[in-house]
C-alpha cells in the first residue's frame, strides 16, 4: 500500500495508530457513561480501520468504518437513546474489587500470550499484495457456501428482530 | 461437475429453501399448521437426500464434503429437526405461541448444523456453528408470552457471543500460523507434535475454551441449567441433542485431521474430570427436573471429553457414537417432558409424582430415556459408555476411567429419584392425559432408536469413519 | 509487511484482553457487555487481516468480513431482546434477569419459568 511514502513512515504510523487504538479502548471500557464509551470506541475503530489499511486490506478497512463505526455503533447509540439509558448516575461504577479479578485474569492471559508469542519468531515472512480482485474472486468462488450461510443468518436476524418486536399479533 | 455439486449441496438447499418457503407461506396464509407441515416435509426431504450416497466424496468448487460420517450426522440433524417440529406444533398451539417464524427458524438451525457437518474449511465450519447458535438464540427466546423465555434467550446470546469471540480469536491465531483455512492443512501445521509453534498453542487454548462454552464443559458450564430451565421444552430437546451433537462434530472434524493431537490431551483430561465430577454431584441435589437434566448433560459431555482424551481412532469413534446416542436420548427425554408440560405438569420433581399413572406413554418414554442416560443395558447409553471407557482404558488413562465409572454409578441415584417420583407415588386424580398421534409417533421412533442403537451398534460404527 | 506479524499479534492480544476486562467488570450492564464482545471480535479480525497480509492470501480478509457480518446479526438480535425486555421491565441489568439471579447461580428458583404454562 501507499507506494509514494517511505516504509519507515508507514511503520511509525502503525505504532501511533496502535497506541491510539489501545488508549481509546481503555477509555471506552472504563467510562461509566455509555454514550461516551461508544464515542471512544468509534475512535478506536477508526484507528483500527487505518491499521487494516496499512496491513493492505483496504476493503476490510472500508467495511470497518461503514459497518462497525457506522452501523453497529449507531445501533448501540440508537438503543441507548431510545431506552434513555444515558443517565448512569443511579447505577454504580464497578468498584476496585470488581476490577481486581478481571485485571488479574486478563493480565495473566496477556502475559501468557506475550511469552508464547515473543520467544520464537519462526513464521516465514513472505510478502505479497492481496488486491481487492483477489478477495472478490476468492469470496465468490471458493467461499460461495459461506456467503450463503451468512446471508441466511442476516435474513434470520431480521426475522428474529421482527418476531421479538411484534405486538398485538399474539 | 455441476450435477455433483448440486447433489452434495442438495440437503442444504432443501433446508434453506424450505425455511424461505415457510416464511413466505406463513405471511400469506392465516393458518399456522401449513408452515409446520412445509417445514416438516423439507426436513424429512433433506434427510432422505442424505441417504443416497453421492458420486464423489468431496467437491472442491463448493468446499463441501460428503463422507458417510457427514451424511449420517446431516440426516440425524434433519430428522431431529422434523421430530422437534412435530412436538412443537402441539406445544406451541397449547402455549399460544403463534407464528411462522418458529418452524422457519428450526429449519435454519438445522441448515447451520448441516453446513457445519459438511465443512472442509475453517470458515464454513465456524459460520455453520454460528448459524446454528444464532438459530437457537431466536428459538430459546421464542415464547413471547413469558418474559423468562426472552431473558433466557438474551443470557444465552451473551454467553454464545462471548464463546464465539474466543473461538474466532483461536481460529485467527491458528490461521496466522498455518496460513490456510483448509482444515487438513491447518490441523497438520498446528497440531504437529513437539515442534509446534507457540502461537498455535495459544490459538488452541482459545479455541478449546470457546468450545467448552458451546459444549458446557466445566469451567464454562454455568449457563446450562438456567438455559435448559427457561426454554420451551421442544427447543430444549433440540438444544440438548442437536447443538451438543453439532459442537462435538466440530471437534470431531478438526481433531482426527491432526498429525499428533497429544498437546490437547491435558486440557481434555481436566475438562473430563471436572465435568464428570461437578455435573453429577450438582445433579444430586437438584429438585427441578430440567436443571437436573442440564447437570446430567454437563456430566455426559464430560464422558465425551474422556473419549477425546484417548485421542485415538476408537476414541473419536466412541465420541461420535455418543453424540448420536445422546442426541436421540435427549430427544426422547425432553420430548416426553414437553408432552407432560403441555398437559399442565410443573417443573419440580414433586409435580412429576404420580405422572406414571396419568400419562403412562410419556412416563414410559421418559423412564427409558433416563435408564439410557444412567447407562443401563440394553440402551444406547450403555453401549456408548462402554465404547468410551474401552477406548480410554486402551489409551492407558486408568485413573480417569475409574473416576468416570464411579461417577456413572453415582448418577444412577438421581435418575432413579425421577423414576421413583413418576411411579411410586400415586396421586389422587386419575384423569388421563392426551397425546396426539404425531407425538406418539415421534416418541416411539426415538425410544425404538435408543434401544436399537444400543443393541446393534455395529451398523452405526461402520458409518463413522475418520481419516 | 510493514511490521513483523508478532507486533500485530501482540496488539491484537492487548485488544482482546481489554475486551475481556470489559466483559468481566461490566457483567451487569448488557450494553457494556456487548461492547466488550465487539472489542474481542475486533481483535480476532486484526489477527486475520495481519495473517492475510503476512501470507499474501485473501482468506483472512474474507474471514474478517464474515466476522463483521456475524457480529452485526448478533448485536441486532441482542438489542431487539433488550428493547423487548425494557418495554416490560424498565431495566437492562443482567443481574435482574431470570428471577434476580446473576448469571450462573444455581439455587432453586421460584416457579415462574414453567408454571405459567397453561
The tens digit of pLDDT for each residue in B80-116 reads 999 999 999 888 888 777 778 899 999 999 999 999 9
Mind telling me how many Å the CA of A100 is from chain C's nearest CA?
9
How close, in Å, is residue C2 to chain B by CA atoms? Answer: 16
Do A13 and A73 have their domain in common? Answer: yes
Q: Provide the number of structural domains found in chain A.
A: 2
Binned at pLDDT 50, 70 and 90, residue B128 comes out as very high
Neighbors of chain B by Cβ distance (3+ pairs < 8 Å): A, C
Is the model's pLDDT at A2 over the cut of 50? Answer: no
CA distance C19 to chain B (A): 10
For an interface test with A, the pick among B134, B151, B206 (most A C-beta atoms closer than 10 Å) comes out as B134
Question: Would residue A160 count as lying in a domain?
Answer: yes
CB contact under 8 A, C62 and B123: yes
Clarify whether residues A4 and A70 are in a common domain.
Answer: yes
Q: Is residue A61 part of a domain?
A: yes
C112 pLDDT higher than 60: no
- Chain B CB within 8 Å of residue C15 CB: no
Cβ pair B134:A159 closer than 8 A: no
Q: Is residue C101 part of a domain?
A: no
Interface touch C77/B137, C-beta < 8 Å = yes
pLDDT at A44: 92
Contact yes or no for B138 and A112 at CB 8 A? no
Mean pLDDT (chain C) is: 77
Q: Mean of the pLDDT values across residues B302-311?
A: 89
B-chain residue closest to C34, CA distance = B158
**A117 domain-assigned:** no
Domain CATH code at residue A20: 1.20.120.1200
Contacts of B114 (CB under 8 A, 6+ apart): B11, B12, B15, B46, B74, B77, B78, B128
Q: Which residues of B41-67 are buried (b: 16+ CB within 10 A; e: fewer)?
A: bbbbbbbebbeeebeeebbeebbbbbb
- Per-residue pLDDT, averaged over A44-54, amounts to 92
Contact at 8 Å (CB) between B337 and B233? Answer: yes
| CA-based radius of gyration for chain A | 21
Among candidate residues A75, A37, C71, the one with its CA nearest the CA of residue B133: C71
B154–C contact, CB cutoff 8 A: yes
Taking the Cβ of residue B14 and every Cβ of chain A, the question of whether any pair is shorter than 8 Å is answered with no
**Residues 54-113, chain A: which have Cβ within 8 Å of C?**
54-57, 59-60, 63-64, 67-68, 71-72, 75-76, 79-80, 82-83, 85, 91, 94, 98-99, 101-103, 105-107, 109-110, 113
Among A157, A160, A162, pick the best mutation site for testing chain C contact (most C Cβ within 10 A): A157
Look at residues A88, A112, A147 and tell me which one is the last residue of a structural domain: A88
Instruction: Assess whether the previous peptide bond of A15 is cis (omega < 30° from 0).
Output: no
CATH code for the domain in which residue C20 is found: 1.10.287.3510
Residues 6 or more apart whose Cβ sits within 8 Å of residue B109: B81, B131, B132, B135, B136, B139, B238, B242
Cβ separation B127–A113 shorter than 8 A: no
Task: Provide the number of structural domains found in chain C.
Answer: 1
Chains in touch with A (≥3 Cβ pairs < 8 A): B, C
CA distance B105 to chain C (A): 14
Is the pLDDT at A84 greater than 90? The verdict is: no
Handedness of CA B306, B309, B315, B317 (dihedral sign): positive
pLDDT in tens, C78-100: 999 988 888 877 665 555 554 43
Q: Is residue A5 located within the same domain as residue A79?
A: yes
Last residue of a domain, one of A88, A119, A151: A88
pLDDT tens, residue by residue, B350-375: 788 877 778 888 889 999 999 999 98
Take residue B400 and report the three cell numbers written for it: 480417569
How far apart are alpha carbons B330 and B244 in whole angstroms? 10
Q: What is the pLDDT of residue A32?
A: 79
Q: Which residues, at least 6 apart from A11, have a Cβ–Cβ distance to it below 8 Å? A: C2, C3
Q: Tally Cβ neighbours within 10 Å of residue B455.
A: 14
Q: Domain ranges in chain B?
A: 1-140
By C-alpha distance, the chain C residue nearest A135 is C58
For chain B, how are helix, strand and coil distributed in percent, rounded to 5? Answer: 80, 0, 20
Which A positions 83-122 lie with beta carbon below 8 A of chain B?
112-113, 115-117, 119-120, 122
Residues 6+ apart with CB under 8 A from B99: A163, A169, B26, B32
Q: Is C105 contained in some domain?
A: no
Interface test with C, best of B149, B172, B339 (most C CBs within 10 A): B172
User: What grid cell was written down for C53?
Assistant: 497480509
Where in the sequence is the domain holding A35, given as residue range(s)? 1-88
Q: Does B176 touch chain A (CB under 8 A)?
A: yes
Q: Are C43 and C109 in contact (CB under 8 A)?
A: no
What average pLDDT is seen over chain B? 87
pLDDT tens-digit series, residues A109-145:
777 777 766 655 545 555 567 788 888 888 888 888 8
What pLDDT score was predicted for residue C118?
Answer: 32
pLDDT at C42: 94
Alpha helices in B52-121 (DSSP H): 68-95, 101-117
Residue A55 included in any domain = yes
Supply A106's cell numbers.
486478563
Domain match, A65 and A138 both: no
Instruction: Please list, in sequence order, all residues whose beta carbon lies within 8 angstroms of the beta carbon of residue B360, skipping any fewer than 6 positions away.
Output: none
Residues A79 and A135 in one domain: no
Asked whether residue A121 is assigned to any structural domain, the reply reads no
Supply the range of the domain harboring residue C28: 5-93
Q: Do C77 and B138 touch (CB under 8 A)?
A: yes
Whether A76 is covered by a domain: the verdict is: yes
Q: Is C116 part of a structural domain of the chain?
A: no
Residue C103 has pLDDT above 50, yes or no: no
Q: Helix crossing, B101-117 with B32-51: angle to 10°? A: 20
What average pLDDT does chain A have? 80
pLDDT digits (tens, 9 = 90+) for B187-224: 888 887 666 778 888 889 899 999 999 999 988 888 89
Search chain C and give the residue with CA nearest B158: C34
Q: Is B281 on the interface with C (CB under 8 A)?
A: no
* Distance, CA of A64 to CA of B169 (rounded, Å): 17
- Residue A3 clears pLDDT 50, i.e. is over it: no
The pLDDT of residue C115 is above 80: no
**B127, A149: Cβ pair inside 8 Å?**
yes
Closest Cβ–Cβ partner in A123, A156, A163 for B135:
A156
* Cβ <8 Å between C30 and B127: no
Determine, yes or no, domain membership for A78.
yes
Q: Who wins on pLDDT, B28 or C114? A: B28
Amino acid at each position: 500500500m501507499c507506494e509514494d511514502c517511505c516504509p519507515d513512515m508507514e511503520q511509525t504510523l502503525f505504532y501511533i495508530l496502535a497506541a491510539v487504538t489501545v488508549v481509546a479502548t481503555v477509555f471506552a471500557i472504563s467510562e461509566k457513561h455509555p454514550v461516551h464509551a461508544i464515542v471512544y470506541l468509534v475512535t478506536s475503530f477508526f484507528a483500527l480501520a487505518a491499521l487494516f489499511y496499512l496491513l493492505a486490506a483496504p476493503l476490510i478497512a472500508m467495511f470497518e468504518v461503514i459497518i462497525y463505526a457506522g452501523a453497529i455503533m449507531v445501533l448501540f447509540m440508537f438503543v441507548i437513546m431510545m431506552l434513555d439509558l444515558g443517565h448512569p448516575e443511579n447505577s454504580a461504577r464497578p468498584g476496585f474489587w470488581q476490577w481486581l479479578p478481571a485485571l488479574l485474569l486478563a493480565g495473566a492471559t496477556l502475559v501468557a500470550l506475550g511469552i508464547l508469542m515473543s520467544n520464537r519468531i519462526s513464521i516465514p515472512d513472505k510478502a505479497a499484495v492481496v488486491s481487492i480482485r483477489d478477495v472478490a474472486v476468492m469470496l465468490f468462488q471458493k467461499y460461495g457456501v459461506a456467503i450463503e450461510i451468512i446471508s441466511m443468518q442476516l435474513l434470520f436476524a431480521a426475522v428474529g428482530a421482527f418476531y421479538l418486536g411484534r405486538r398485538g399479533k399474539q | 461437475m455441476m450435477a455433483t455439486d448440486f447433489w452434495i449441496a442438495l440437503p442444504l438447499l432443501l433446508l434453506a429453501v424450505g425455511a424461505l418457503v415457510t416464511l413466505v407461506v406463513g405471511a400469506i396464509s392465516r393458518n399456522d399448521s401449513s408452515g409446520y407441515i412445509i417445514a416438516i416435509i423439507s426436513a424429512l426431504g433433506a434427510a432422505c437426500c442424505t441417504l443416497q450416497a453421492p458420486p464423489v466424496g468431496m467437491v472442491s468448487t463448493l468446499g463441501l464434503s460428503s463422507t458417510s460420517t457427514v451424511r449420517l450426522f446431516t440426516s440425524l440433524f434433519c430428522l431431529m429437526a422434523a421430530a422437534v417440529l412435530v412436538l412443537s406444533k402441539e406445544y406451541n398451539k397449547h402455549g399460544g405461541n403463534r407464528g411462522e417464524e418458529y418452524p422457519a427458524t428450526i429449519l435454519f438451525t438445522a441448515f447451520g448444523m448441516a453446513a457445519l457437518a459438511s465443512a472442509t474449511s475453517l470458515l464454513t465450519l465456524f459460520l455453520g456453528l454460528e448459524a446454528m447458535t444464532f438459530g437457537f438464540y431466536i428459538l430459546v427466546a421464542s415464547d413471547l408470552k413469558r418474559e423468562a423465555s426472552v431473558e433466557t434467550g438474551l443470557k444465552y446470546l451473551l454467553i454464545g457471543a462471548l464463546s464465539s469471540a474466543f473461538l474466532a480469536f483461536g481460529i485467527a491465531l491458528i490461521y496466522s500460523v498455518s496460513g490456510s483455512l483448509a482444515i487438513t492443512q491447518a490441523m497438520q501445521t498446528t497440531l504437529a507434535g513437539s515442534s509446534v509453534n507457540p502461537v498455535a498453542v495459544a490459538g488452541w487454548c482459545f479455541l478449546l475454551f470457546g468450545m467448552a462454552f458451546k459444549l458446557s464443559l466445566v469451567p464454562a458450564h454455568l449457563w446450562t441449567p438456567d438455559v435448559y430451565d427457561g426454554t420451551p421444552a421442544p427447543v430444549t430437546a433440540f438444544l440438548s441433542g442437536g447443538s451438543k451433537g453439532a459442537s462435538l462434530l466440530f471437534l470431531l472434524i478438526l481433531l482426527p485431521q491432526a498429525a499428533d493431537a497429544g498437546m490437547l490431551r491435558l486440557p481434555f483430561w481436566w475438562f473430563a474430570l471436572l465435568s464428570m465430577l461437578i455435573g453429577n454431584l450438582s445433579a444430586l441435589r437438584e429438585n427441578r427436573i430440567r436443571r437436573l437434566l442440564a447437570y446430567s448433560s454437563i456430566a455426559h459431555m464430560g464422558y465425551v471429553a474422556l473419549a477425546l482424551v484417548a485421542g485415538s481412532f476408537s476414541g473419536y469413534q466412541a465420541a461420535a457414537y455418543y453424540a448420536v446416542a445422546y442426541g436421540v436420548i435427549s430427544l426422547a427425554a425432553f420430548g416426553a417432558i414437553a408432552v407432560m408440560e403441555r398437559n399442565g405438569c410443573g417443573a419440580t420433581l414433586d409435580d412429576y409424582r404420580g405422572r406414571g399413572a396419568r400419562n403412562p406413554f410419556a412416563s414410559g418414554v421418559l423412564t427409558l430415556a433416563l435408564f439410557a442416560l444412567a447407562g443401563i443395558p440394553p440402551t444406547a447409553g450403555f453401549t456408548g459408555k462402554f465404547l468410551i471407557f474401552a477406548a480410554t482404558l486402551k489409551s492407558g488413562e486408568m485413573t480417569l476411567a475409574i473416576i468416570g465409572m464411579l461417577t456413572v454409578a453415582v448418577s444412577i441415584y438421581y435418575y432413579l429419584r425421577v423414576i421413583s417420583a413418576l411411579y411410586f407415588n400415586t396421586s389422587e386424580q386419575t384423569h388421563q392425559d392426551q397425546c396426539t398421534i404425531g407425538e406418539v409417533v415421534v416418541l416411539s421412533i426415538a425410544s425404538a432408536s435408543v434401544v436399537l442403537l444400543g443393541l446393534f451398534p455395529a451398523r452405526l460404527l461402520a458409518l463413522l469413519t475418520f481419516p | 509487511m510493514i511490521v513483523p506479524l508478532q507486533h500485530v499479534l501482540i496488539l491484537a492480544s492487548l485488544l482482546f484482553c481489554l475486551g475481556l476486562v470489559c466483559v468481566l467488570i461490566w457483567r451487569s450492564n448488557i450494553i457494556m457487555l456487548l461492547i466488550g464482545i465487539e472489542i474481542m471480535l475486533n481483535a480476532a479480525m486484526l489477527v486475520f487481516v495481519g495473517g492475510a497480509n503476512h501470507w499474501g492470501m485473501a482468506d483472512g480478509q474474507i474471514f474478517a468480513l464474515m466476522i463483521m457480518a456475524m457480529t452485526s446479526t448478533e448485536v441486532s438480535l441482542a438489542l431487539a431482546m433488550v428493547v423487548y425486555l425494557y418495554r416490560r421491565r424498565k431495566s437492562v441489568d443482567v443481574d435482574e434477569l431470570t428471577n434476580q439471579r446473576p448469571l450462573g447461580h444455581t439455587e432453586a428458583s421460584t416457579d415462574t419459568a414453567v408454571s405459567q404454562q397453561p
